[in-house]
Amino acid sequence: MAEAVDLRGQVADVLPLDPYALRADFPILRTETSTGRPLVYLDSASTSQKPQVVIDAVDGFYRGYNANVHRGIYEIGERSTAAYEAARASVARFIGAPDSREIVFTRNATEAINLVAYSWGRRNVGRGDAIVLTEMEHHANLVPWQLLVQEVDGDLEFIPITDDGILRLDVFEVLLRLRPKLVAFTHVSNTLGTVTPVREIVQMAHAAGALVLVDGAQAVPHLPVDVTDLGCDFYVFSGHKVLAPTGSGALWARRELLEAMPPFLAGGEMIREVHLRRSEFNAIPWKFEAGTPDIAAAIGLGVAAEYLMGIGMDRVCAHEAVLTRYALDRLATVPGITLYGPPADQRSGVVPFNVEGVHPHDVAQVLDRFGVCVRAGHHCTMPLHERLDLAATARASFNVYSTREDIDALVAGLGEVVRIFGV
């Protein structure tokens, strides 16, 4: 039984988004490449471009009130703390968290997953216990769990996918008979764009007594996300994919879980009292934010969240759904091309492909001559590529600033790839 999320219900009856107007907010999109061609950025799944308001927020912090948070009782110190905590509140609203104190700032989704693996995992997963993942996980949601089960002599099991990248929930139902401690999976595949049925998986996992962690790195920038509605226990994402600075990200977890988890890192800020032989830890979320954080990045993340909420994530989702359908239709006309992943109404704005007889790196290098930026490689999903019997793929991915003209430029560039390599 193959299950997937049908996005058609999420994109109906919303006001269209105007990417051409939004592009004016992104300074880098006005630049040209060294060959004198306009920049066509189709690698947003790797990292997104940043709007001027985010750039200004980071610049404004360093120029106007650069001071450490939660420490100085002078004016700019209090302003810095207020901006940092306001960003936490913005992130909470952005993902539907009921309490901003359930938001832990991290450097990225990778750090957030490691936090859960080390803090919750090493206290709750023991010998013989199972963790269930999927075959299409990013390495960030695979390697931390490998390390954990190797350390405690536990077990990893995997929900398989169909050839077009849809999860086999019938097999998942069988795996749940192992009574896993945790089910961890991606909300949206960074390689195939597959949108997973989060609510259904969460309900099945909870019925079997498992907690659920969702990797939302590729979902939060593109889909409306409400962690309360999804029902999961942990949700993680990276800021740099959501129009925010690098070095920003967040873990959301249910308050009772965070309060029961031991600290991940130790040092300043995460403590309430320190004595020579013992310490009393801070309240959540600061218990998990040892040392001086990347204050500017966190503030930028909050501004990015407000920017996207101002656009409306339903409109973002609708825009990318239309763009993805257009891309799949246009790319299908390229001679020798193979497209991977589910149908357009079951995927987000990610399109992996190969051109017959041409290595993806060569495809990307030729496209670069025309100012077109795509990713080439295994996209940090080597097991998924092994499952599909692929060494690598090229990948185009979209964001709010992506247009049909970008896709047309990609198709024209691929025409040159075909011509040069005689496909």
Q: Which residues contact 231 (CB under 8 A, 6 or more apart)?
A: 199, 202, 203, 206, 212
What's the CA angle centered on 400, arms 396 and 405, to 5 degrees? 60
Strand positions, DSSP E, 24-64: 40-41
Q: What is the pLDDT of residue 7?
A: 55
The residues facing 157 across adjacent strands are: 132
Same domain, 258 and 369: no
Please say which residue of 294, 310, 326 terminates a domain. Answer: 310
Residue 153, Cβ neighbours under 10 Å: how many? 11
| Structural domains of the chain, count | 2
Same domain, 365 and 219: no
The CATH code of the domain that includes 396 is 3.90.1150.10
Same domain, 58 and 27: no
Residue of 232, 317, 373, 380 with catalytic role: 380
Q: What is the pLDDT of residue 9?
A: 45
- Using CA atoms, how far residue 149 sits from 121, 131, 192, 229, 312, in Å, is 9, 8, 27, 30, 40
Q: Which residues contact 386 (CB under 8 A, 6 or more apart)?
A: none
Same domain, 331 and 281: no
Is 232 a residue of the active site? no
CA distance 284 to 298: 17
Range of the domain at 75: 54-310
Same domain, 98 and 20: no
Same domain, 276 and 319: no
pLDDT (tens, 9 = 90+) of the chain, 423 residues, equals: 334 444 544 445 677 899 999 999 999 999 999 989 999 999 999 999 999 999 999 999 999 999 999 988 999 999 999 999 999 999 999 999 999 999 999 999 999 999 999 999 999 999 999 999 999 999 999 999 999 999 999 999 999 999 999 999 999 999 999 999 999 999 999 999 999 999 999 999 999 999 999 999 999 999 999 999 999 999 999 999 999 999 999 999 999 999 999 999 999 999 999 999 999 999 999 999 999 999 999 999 999 999 999 999 999 999 999 999 999 999 999 999 999 999 999 999 999 999 999 999 999 999 999 999 999 999 999 999 999 999 999 999 999 999 999 999 999 999 999 999 987
**What are φ and ψ of residue 3, in 5° steps?**
-120, 150
* Under 8 Å between Cβ of 221 and 44: yes
Please say which residue of 273, 291, 310 terminates a domain. Answer: 310
Say if 48 falls within a structural domain: no
CA distance 142 to 140: 6
Same domain, 114 and 144: yes
The CATH code of the domain that includes 158 is 3.40.640.10
Please say which residue of 258, 290, 310 terminates a domain. Answer: 310
CA distance 368 to 134: 33
Say if 37 falls within a structural domain: yes
CA distance 152 to 149: 5
Q: What is the pLDDT of residue 12?
A: 52
Say if 362 falls within a structural domain: yes
Same domain, 213 and 272: yes
Say if 258 falls within a structural domain: yes
